[in-house]
Structure 1
Amino acid sequence: MTSTTERPASSREPSWWDKQGDLIMRRPFNEWTFTHMNWLMPTERVARGDTALPLPVAARPLPLTYRFEDRVHTLAELHRHTFTTAFVVLHRGTIVHEIYPGAFAGARSRMQLFSLSKSVTSLLVGIALDEGAIGSEKDRITDYRPDFLGTAYEENTLAELLDMTTGVGDLETWDVPNSGIKQFEQTIMGGGDIADVVRAATRTAPAGERFNYSTFDTQLLGWVLEAATGQSLATYASERLWQKLGADRDAYYWLTRGRPRTAIGGGSLNATARDVARIGLLMAGDGMVDGVQIVPQDWVRRSRGNDKPQLAVGSLGPSGYDHYGYANQWWTLGGDTFTGLGVHGQYLFVDPEAEVVIVKCSAWPTQDDPHRDAETVAALRRVADHFAGR
C-alpha cells in the first residue's frame, strides 16, 4: 500500500531493526524463521482443548501430474518450483497425502501463515456477530474504536472491512521502501504503535466502490473484535475456535515488539499444517465440527463468493490476480472453490464439491509471485479434480 502521506513508523532514526522483516523473509533463512517465529517475536498462545479430535490418516504417494504453461509437471516439481515446506491433502476428512519438504518442517511444526490469518479473523468475526458481541456488519469502525474518529476510516463499516472495499489506502506494495505496509512492518519489528500507522492512511476511493487488498483493513477487524468481546484475539480464538476444532497443538499469534503489544489479525497466526487443515474441514462442512455448529452456516457460505461485481473472479483490478475473486476475507476461484492465502506461498484450498482440503505452506524468496501462484493454483485444482473423479 502506498500513499503520498508519510506515515510515522517511530520517532527514531532507521536502524538495523527496520530491516528485520527483510532478513526474516529472505531465502534460505525463511525456511527456519517461518517455523520459529516464537523464537523471534513476543507471542500469545492460542490454547487447544483438553481433547484432540483425531484426523484419520490413510496417506499414500500421489503420483498425479498437472498441466501448466503447456507442460506436464509432477507434484515433486511443484514443490521444487514453489519451495513447498508442508503439503497436506484431505479427502472426505481423511489425510490422503502428507509431505514436509521444508528443512525444518514436520507434522508438529507451527507454520507462519501470514495473511491466511485474515481468513481466520473473518471466522472469529462471524462467531462474534452470531453471539451478539458485535451488533451488525453495518456498524462503523468507530462504534468500537473511537480513536479512529477523524481518520480516513471514520465512516467505514465492518462490511467494507470484510470485503476490503473501504477505499482507504493505495496498493499494498512490499517493494516500495516507504509504503504503508513497509512502515507497518517496520513498526511491528522495531517499536512504536502500529495504530498510528493505520490512522495515517489516506482515502483514495469512495467506500464500497472498488476492491483494494489491505492488511490495515483486517487489522482493524481484529481490533474491533477485541474491543467488542473484551478479550485478546488469541483468547477469543482459543475459546471459540481452537478448542472446538479439536486441534492437535496450541497455535500462537506473534505480537508487536512495541507497546501496546498487539496481535496482527491480518498476518501473525502460526499453527501446524494439520490444524490449518481442520479449519479447511470446518469450511468444507458449512461450519460444523463433529456435529456441532462452530461458525454460522451462512457465514461460511458467503466466504465462497457473492454477487458484488467488483469482487467477482477476474474483476479485482491491480490488487488481485485474474483468477481470483474475493469475499469475506477469502479468495474465491469460481463455483464453490475458495482459498485462504498468505505471502511467500501459504494456501488453505477448499473445494467443498470435491470434499477436498489442501494446505500448502511455502518459503518463496519474495512476498508475491504471480507465476508461482498461478502454477500452485493449477496444481491444487488438479489434485481436487483427481479425488472428485473430474
Structure 2
Amino acid sequence: MTSTTERPATPSAAKPPSWWDRQGDLIMRRPFNEWTFTHMNWLLPTERVARGEVHRPLPYDPHHLDLTYRFEGHDRSLAELHRRTNTTTFVVVHGGRVVHEYYPGVFAGPRTRMQLFSVSKSITSLLVGIALHEGAIDGLHDRVADYRPDFQGTAYEDVTIHNLLNMSSGVGDLEVWDVPDAGIKRFEQAIMGGGDVAAVVRAAPRTRPAGEAFNYSTFDTQVLGWVLEAAAGMPLARYCSEKLWRHLGADRDAYYWLTRAKPRSAIGGGSLNATARDLARVGMLMVNDGVVAGRQVVPRDWVRRSRSSDLPQLAVGNLGPSGYTHYGYSNQWWTLGSVCHDAFTGLGVHGQYLFVDHSADVVIVKTSAWPTQDDEARDRETITALRRIADHFATAR
C-alpha cells in the first residue's frame, strides 16, 4: 500500500538541447552574427577557392548616392536602408567601375570574406553551366542516380538536373527555419554536429511529382553540387577555382566551409565565403554575358537562361508559399520581371544579395546580418532600394 504522503511519479522533463545541438541558432543571432558571418573559417573546416595569378583591380569612380527610395508610404535614404536592414557591406558597380562602397559592419571591410549563404546556389549554377558546356555533364535531363548511385531507391533517384536547377524536384516539405525538426534544421545539425549529411538528404520524402511546382530547397542545390563533383571528379572548391574564380582577377581567395564529419563536403547551397568586391566581379561577369577580360568563362546562353524562365510556375508572383510574390525563379537565381529591366538576384538568408541589372549595367552586392533567416519586409525594402539605384544609373546613361 502506498503511503498517503507519497506523490505519484511524474514523467521526467525532456532533456534540453545541448549547446552542440543549438550552435546553429546561437551563431546566427544578433549581435553575434556580425562576427560569425565574417569568421566562418574559425568555426568550421574549410577548403580554399584559389584566385588566379592575374589580379585585375576594379576601377574606382566614387559617386555620392544622394537618392531616396519610396517604401510603405515613406521616402527613405540609403543610410536608413543600411540601418533598417542591418547592412554589413554595400558595393555598387556601374559600367565596370565601383561607384559606391560602404562597410558599416563591425568586422567588415574591403578584404573581409563574407558568409554568402544561398548566394552560393547561384555560383553552383554557373559551375553546372560550365560543366554542361565542357561535357562533364551530358545533359539537363540526366538523372541524379546517373552520377550518384547511392541515391538509387531515394526520392531523388529519377530527379533530373533540370528539376534541381528549377527547385522543382518534388522532394521535401516547405523549407522553414523555425520548426525544430524541419528537414533544413536536421541538415544544419548534421553539418555542424558531425552527422551524416547525405543520409539526411537521402531520407527526404517525395511530396509531389518532379517538375510540377516550385519548392525552394537547399537539398536540391546540395544534390546538384554532389552531382557536379561526381561528374567533374573533383571537390566543389577546386572546380570553382579552376573554372571560375581564377579567371575573375579576384582580390582574394574565396573558401567553402565544410561539414564536420568526414568525408567532409562543401555545401553547394550555402557555404561560399568571399569579399564583396569579388562577388561584384561575379555580377560583372553576369552583366557581360559570361565574359571576363575577353574570355568566355560562363556560356552566354547559360547566363541569359538565368534572367528569366518561360515556365509559368516560375514566373514572378507564381512561386507559391516558398517564394515571395515579387520574385520569380530561374536557374538558381531569383528573377524580378520586366518591371525592373531584366534584373535578377542571388539571395541568401540573413540578407545577402548579388543584384544584377544587365540593361542598366549595374551590379550591387549587399551583405547583412539580419536577426532572422528570412524577413519579407526587410527583403521587399532592400529590393525596392536596389531597384531605385539601378533606375538612377539607367536614367543617367
User: What CA distance in whole angstroms lies between the structure 2 residues aligned with 1:20 and 1:252?
Assistant: 21
After TM superposition, the structure 1 = structure 2 runs for residues 192-231 of structure 1, keeping only pairs within 5 Å, are: 192-231=195-234
Aligned length: 379
The one-letter code matched in structure 2 to 1:178 is D
1:378 to 359, 377, 384: 384
Q: Does 1:295 align with 2:298?
A: yes
2:267 to 264, 267, 271: 264
Structure 2 counterpart of 1:83: 86
The residue matched to 1:389 in structure 2 has which SS?
helix
User: What CA distance in whole angstroms lies between the structure 1 residues aligned with 2:195 and 2:32?
Assistant: 26
The one-letter code matched in structure 1 to 2:98 is I
After TM superposition, the structure 1 = structure 2 runs for residues 318-333 of structure 1, keeping only pairs within 5 Å, are: 318-333=321-336
Structure 1 counterpart of 2:368: 362
The residue matched to 1:72 in structure 2 has which SS?
strand
User: What CA distance in whole angstroms lies between the structure 2 residues aligned with 1:257 and 1:14?
Assistant: 19
Structure 2 counterpart of 1:340: 346
Structure 1 counterpart of 2:395: 389
The one-letter code matched in structure 2 to 1:251 is A
After TM superposition, the structure 1 = structure 2 runs for residues 77-156 of structure 1, keeping only pairs within 5 Å, are: 77-156=80-159
The alpha-carbon deviation at position 187 of structure 1 amounts to 0.5
User: What CA distance in whole angstroms lies between the structure 1 residues aligned with 2:224 and 2:171?
Assistant: 14
The one-letter code matched in structure 1 to 2:319 is L
User: What CA distance in whole angstroms lies between the structure 1 residues aligned with 2:17 and 2:297?
Assistant: 45
User: What CA distance in whole angstroms lies between the structure 1 residues aligned with 2:169 and 2:392?
Assistant: 39
Structure 1 counterpart of 2:10: none
The alpha-carbon deviation at position 15 of structure 1 amounts to 2.9
Show CA shifts across 1:261-299 (max 9, x none). 100000000000000000000001100001110000000
1:15 to 4, 14, 18: 18
Which 4+ residue blocks in structure 1 deviate beyond 3 angstroms?
Answer: none
The residue matched to 1:128 in structure 2 has which SS?
helix
Structure 2 counterpart of 1:273: 276
The alpha-carbon deviation at position 383 of structure 1 amounts to 0.3
Q: Does 1:160 align with 2:178?
A: no
Contact in 2 for aligned 1:193/1:260 (Cα 8 Å): no
User: What CA distance in whole angstroms lies between the structure 1 residues aligned with 2:18 and 2:121?
Assistant: 29
User: What CA distance in whole angstroms lies between the structure 1 residues aligned with 2:18 and 2:190?
Assistant: 12
Structure 2 counterpart of 1:5: none
The alpha-carbon deviation at position 16 of structure 1 amounts to 1.7
The residue matched to 2:76 in structure 1 has which SS?
strand
Structure 1 unpaired stretches of 5+: 1-12
Instruction: State the superposition RMSD in angstroms.
Output: 1.1
1:246 to 244, 249, 272: 249
The one-letter code matched in structure 2 to 1:177 is P
Q: TM-score, normalised by structure 1?
A: 0.96
The one-letter code matched in structure 2 to 1:343 is V
The alpha-carbon deviation at position 313 of structure 1 amounts to 0.2
Bigger Rg, which one? 2
User: What CA distance in whole angstroms lies between the structure 1 residues aligned with 2:327 and 2:126?
Assistant: 20
Contact in 1 for aligned 2:189/2:195 (Cα 8 Å): no
Structure 1 counterpart of 2:317: 314
The alpha-carbon deviation at position 61 of structure 1 amounts to 2.2
Contact in 1 for aligned 2:201/2:219 (Cα 8 Å): yes
2:41 to 20, 38, 41: 38
User: What CA distance in whole angstroms lies between the structure 2 residues aligned with 1:109 and 1:309?
Assistant: 40
The one-letter code matched in structure 2 to 1:300 is V
The one-letter code matched in structure 1 to 2:347 is L
Show CA shifts across 1:6-44 (max 9, x none). xxxxxxx95321111111100000001000000110000
The residue matched to 2:244 in structure 1 has which SS?
helix
The residue matched to 2:48 in structure 1 has which SS?
strand
User: What CA distance in whole angstroms lies between the structure 1 residues aligned with 2:160 and 2:223?
Assistant: 11
Q: TM-score, normalised by structure 2?
A: 0.94
User: What CA distance in whole angstroms lies between the structure 2 residues aligned with 1:16 and 1:146?
Assistant: 36
Show CA shifts across 1:304-328 (max 9, x none). 0111000000000001000000000
Structure 2 counterpart of 1:68: 71
The residue matched to 1:304 in structure 2 has which SS?
coil
Alignment identity in percent?
74
Structure 1 counterpart of 2:13: none
Show CA shifts across 1:181-226 (max 9, x none). 0000001000121000000000111111100000000000110010
Structure 2 unpaired stretches of 5+: 1-15
The alpha-carbon deviation at position 243 of structure 1 amounts to 0.3
